Structure 1
Amino acid sequence: MDTEEPLALYVHWPFCLSKCPYCDFNSHVRDEIPRARFGAALRRELAHEAARMGATRAERPVVSSIFFGGGTPSLMAPETVAGLIADTRTLFGTTADVEITLEANPTSVETGLLRAFRDAGVNRISIGIQSLEPEALRFLGREHDARQAVAALELARALFGRVSFDLIYARPGQDAQAWRAELEAGQRVFGENRVQEAAAKFPALRARWPDLRLHIIGGLQTNKAAEAVRIADMIESLDRPALSDALARAAERAGRLPDLLVQVNTGDETQKSGVRLEDADEFIDHSRARFGAAVKGLMCIPPHDQDPAPHFRLLADMAARHGLPVVSMGMSADFERAIACGATLVRVGSAIFGARPAHP
């Protein structure tokens, strides 16, 4: 066991108050949740895994991240969370800046409970808002409304220094009216696969909401570079020298350069966009030399038929090695695992809005 490389620990709590129709995670509804019994089982499993990694704490890797996911981890007893955190510190040790995240649904958030989780050692809360549109929330089978979501977010912000809920909505076929509804509710970061669709909707919306941010998240053709530079706040698919050249020319003409993410083809798939792994470090260095601080981070889309976690960890490690703060990875089927592996941006579209209509 390599004790030099920090370990990220994911703790799964599979129980929910209701089963969302889009969810394919290991989650279950019970009339009575066996909190004490399941909590004790988690602590035994943690001790068992620690023993497999080494006979003593010195032989085991230190933990830099703990992520309580689910399910609905905010249904856990705070004492169980505290016990698991304490066990982790005893069995493995933690880094000085360890991040300890707990997912919460708006319906399970209240002041006393969040304060108890904070006192247990949690220092980051991730709120499962999913959408602020009433119709979308009904479709998703969510039990909260937009008012409860915003209230939960405000409460979390009052108690924790680190709070997340922000998902880029890569909404299939999303029209300007639907964008406007989300904007009225407070959503500000949106993703589009196709530059031409974004160009048709975005300028008029930005005139009303100046803080609206648009991410181009699909593969970008060089002949669309000028339009992307004109309208986007971030382009997440920089992956080849020809596109670098096109973006540089477009930025010089437009007098602006969006933030950029280098897309890495972590599976080296011939049919997929992204710089090949063997070329990634060199391309990242060249991109930073050319575009400077505009290069904010990395993006990947793992092979659909493989476990995404190794790809997520690879990308997060690569970003850390290059000192890049933004790690964009994870979509509808795997965003929770991506967050546990270090994602700072995730893209959730089809789980909320269904499959994208076929493009004529």
Structure 2
Amino acid sequence: MRVAIFTPDITSNSLGRTYCLWLLMRANGWETEVFAPRGGEIWGPLRGGDFAANCRTVDEDDPELLSAVEAADLVLAVKPVETSFGRARRLARTAQRPLLLDVDDPDLEAALSWRRPLRRFAKGILKFSAVRKNTELKRLALEADTIVSNPVLQAIYGGPVVPHVRDDRGLGAPHTSSKPSIAFVGTNRKHKGVDILREAVADRQDLGITLKLTDKAPEDARPWEQWVGMTSFEEGLALVENADIVVIPSKDDGYAHGQLPAKLMDAMLAGRAVIVSDIEPMTWAIGQTGIVVEPSSVTALANALEKLTDPLVRQELGSRARHKALDLFTVEANRDAFREACEQVVSSFRRPKGEQ
């Protein structure tokens, strides 16, 4: 199969989901090209390598883009946004090619103030044009053939669940220290709760805990914190694999609901002890293999950190997490189901009368 993939922004961490789907296509032996609007350099962690070589930035009216879509067996749009789904939908219709939409985050739900009726009402007045555009995208997305990254989004959009996937790199560093190291690997955004994590670690310095974060150091950086800046994909994986504990302290924010951070998959596969906020779909992913804490609670997170100072406890949780991840989140575990989902869209596609 030959697939034309439309991704919304080659410069942002949204490219991580595109990479996951590319891994599944590669595992199935398919030919792929990734297209994005013109912009800056490819997102830092994914620069270089075979995936980056598959990525192109091109204008929608470039004849080469339409030719690439016409040559594809399937068009796949990553995220239900204008810069991917909008472009892909128009070109797929012109070229008469089947279209599959991937929804991995609640992008439209956040834009339309999901679960915040007062804010939604205010946006409807103050940002009428944007709300109308996103409402129309939501309508089209609900009508499209879809795959989704987790059950929360499946309840909205339907389609099979294709979670973030990784190649299995094996077990990470052994759990031996009684003064554990913590890693936060990812893009530091407001809803991700890094401020809560920092305060919890500060409160429990009697435990000798250290913290590594993938961002630039702020002015109030503390002695037990190591700010490593943006890392490559390999460097980020190494940080996870060598940490004792991986914490994903997302806040109870509209965007966090429905989001499944890929670093959770990395941590589980590496056999790390994991702490997550009590927010789906993270709780779905870890099940009984990690510790779940109240969102935005420094006290709850600090107490959870204390429980994980025992390396035997971390080892037990990490082993359970790894076994679950091997069943659910590897390329091998999802390759066949992903292939079937794509082939179903292609086989059921019917061109208008007169088309051959």
- TM-score for both structures, normalised by structure 1: 0.33
- TM (normalized to structure 2)? 0.33
Higher relative contact order, structure no. (Cα contacts within 8 Å, ≥ 6 residues apart): 2
The structure whose residues are more often strand, as a share, is 1
